[in-house]
Structures are given as structure tokens and as C-alpha cells.
Structure 1
């Protein structure tokens, strides 16, 4: 990982950018989305979306721009949809069908542990220079420290809905259709880390 103290950034997957732009287009259409991207200095995204890993700061900058342009409530709705679209991409292109089948037939908590462990192995692709960990015992939760989507930002309520949307869609699709994921602590509110509580609907 890169050292944050030297002002260098880690790389994260392009879906953070691709699917956030897609969520903007779904909500506002091609024209208004293009106007917004030009206004915030990302006219390049109106021509070509990234196909390789991107600097994590690019995602943070885009989130900041959305917050400034649309406010926190709209930001969370857009990021949640972006996360859902990212999960759909992962299910279609990154998680092998045999693994998906195994996860669906395992007992819920065993499946959840297997899924979150698999996510941990690839966490660098979405947390960059941040960190990811999870616990299954009692009340399952996911913790992200130095969260890319809100790093250095301020808000009165949790705003990292990108990860809510991603985690919830994956868990509902592969482990428990009634599960919910909710961010209960957010670095943007002054917390030391962003914490996502997983509530299983089958228990």
C-alpha cells in the first residue's frame, strides 16, 4: 500500500467511478450528468470511462463534488445505487458461478463468513490505502478505516452508502435475501472508522 503521509494514493477499481456516473445518468439523464461533470472538471468522463484501476482520490473527489452540488441526502441515494450497480457487476463478472452456488446452500452465518472473507482478500481493490475487517460473532459488522468515500469530509449523518449498497446487494443475493446493511458510524461524522452493521433476516 502507498503511504498516506507522503500524499500518494492507492489504486481502487474503476467501478467506483463507472457506476457512480451510471447512477447519475439514471437519475438525471445524459445531458444533465454531462453538464455536472464538465462543471466539476471531469469532462473526460463524458467521453470515456476508466477501464483500469484508478487513484482512490479520484473517487473521493467525485464524491465531494456530488456532495457540494446535490447535498448529503442526494449523495447517499446516488452512492447507494452506485454500490448496487457495482455489486451487480461483481456478480456477473468477478464471482464464479460455482462459488455463488456454494454460498447460497451454506448455512447463513457460514455463507456470510465465507463471503466476507473472500471480500477481505480483495479489499485493496475498494479500500485503497484504507483497511477492511469484519466480525461474525453476535452482531455481524464490517469496519472500514480511512474510508475512501468520505475521507477528509464532513457530514451530519453517515454518507458512505456506496459500501452499504455493495455489501447489501452481495449478501442478499448470495447469503440471505432479507439481510440489511446499515452504516452506523461514519468517519465523516467524526468516528474513528466507518462501521456497517449486518442484520440477518433469517435469524
Structure 2
């Protein structure tokens, strides 16, 4: 994976552009415009960002999505946006020879290589938050202080965008049966958002 220079408190533009794409696809242009206007991001609909963006805008966007749509609709939009982000990374950020190598390797070694690359570039999707990999018993990813759920209070995990991005990358590069499930979330009061990663071998 390659990335731009790191500026603290910023995040990659996919967290906005792919949400706009998924929202427009599922909810239409009028609802998308209303959500982006409420989040203070209306300018990004006419001029989508191509560089790192302030993570506060990403936090506001996900909050307004949750406030405007039903939980089921918000989840569906976030899942699509996550898959679109993974597709972008596969098309533009992960070198094709690396992808070929990962697909040839057994799932264990492939996952370690992929997670090393993800960890190295974690600031592009966690902003000022922290990303960690835990392999004590099973594979678990954690994001502490991430921007997506920072202003959301919910009874169930809401970081579907991250879960879908991780899952699509793993299914494409590590194992086709990978599932990624968020088991804890800052929106429910947890100290970190936790994602359990598993696959059938």
C-alpha cells in the first residue's frame, strides 16, 4: 500500500467520497445532499476531495447518517461504502504483484503481510486514532479513538464501514470465506472498537 504524507488529525478522502457514492446509490441525490449539508460537507459533493481531509468532517458525516437514516439503512450504506473503499485500495493502492503474491500464499502468512501493510498505513483511516492487531487467541483488530463512532451513541456497534473494508480486502487477498464482525464499539461505551476476523480453512 502507498499513501500520502501524514498530517495529524486527517484521514483519507475515501471515507467521504465512498459514503457519498453509497448514499447516492441507495438513498438518492436529494437525501445525500441533505446529509452532506447537515454535516457541513456540501462542497465535497461538487468537488470530491482527492487529498487527506479533516477527520472532524468524517465524524460529522457518520453522525448525520445515523441521525437521518434508520439503523438498517445506515448500516447498509456504511457497508457499501466500506466495500467501495476496499475496491479503490485494490485498484489504486495495493501493487498488483503484491496482490498476486498474497493470493498464492496460505491464509496465515498472507494475513500477516496484509496486516503489516494496513498497520503501516493505519493513519489514513483512523486519523488521530490508533490501530492494533491482536493475535493472542484468534485474530482481532482494534481501533481506539477512531473518527467514525466518536459522536455516536448506540446500543450496537456502528463501525460497519471499517468492518466491510477489512472483510472485502481479506476476501480478495487472504481467504474468500473471511468474515469480519465488530464485537465492541466506542458508540456503545467500549474503550476500543474490536473486529473479529476469521475464515474457514
**For residue 157 of structure 1, what is the aligned residue in structure 2?**
156
Task: Label 1:137 to 1:104 Cα distance change in 2 as closer, same or farther (>3 A).
Answer: farther
Give the distance between the partners of 2:195 and 2:83, measured in 1 at CA. 15
TM-score with structure 2 setting the length? 0.92
Q: CA deviation at 1:25?
A: 0.7
User: What residue in structure 1 maps to residue 91 of structure 2?
Assistant: 92
Q: Is 1:62 paired with 2:92? A: no
Runs of at least 5 residues in structure 1 that lack an aligned partner in the other structure? 3-8
The alignment of Structure 1 onto Structure 2 pairs a total of residues equal to: 196
Using a 3 Å threshold, how does the CA distance of structure 1 residues 133 and 89 change in structure 2: closer, same or farther? same
Residues 60, 149 of structure 1: 8 Å contact kept: yes
Moved over 4 A (4+): none
User: Structure 2, unaligned stretches of length 5 or more?
Assistant: 1-5
1:118-174 C-alpha deviation (Å, 9 max, x unpaired): 100000111011000112353111011012100132100000001001000000000
Q: CA RMSD in A?
A: 1.6
Alignment-derived partner of residue 172 in structure 2: 173
Deviations 1:106-126 (A, max 9, x none): 111111111011100000111
Work out the CA distance in 1 between the residues paired with 2:20 and 2:168.
19
Whether contact under 8 Å (1:180, 1:201) holds in the other structure is no
TM-score, L = length of structure 1: 0.91
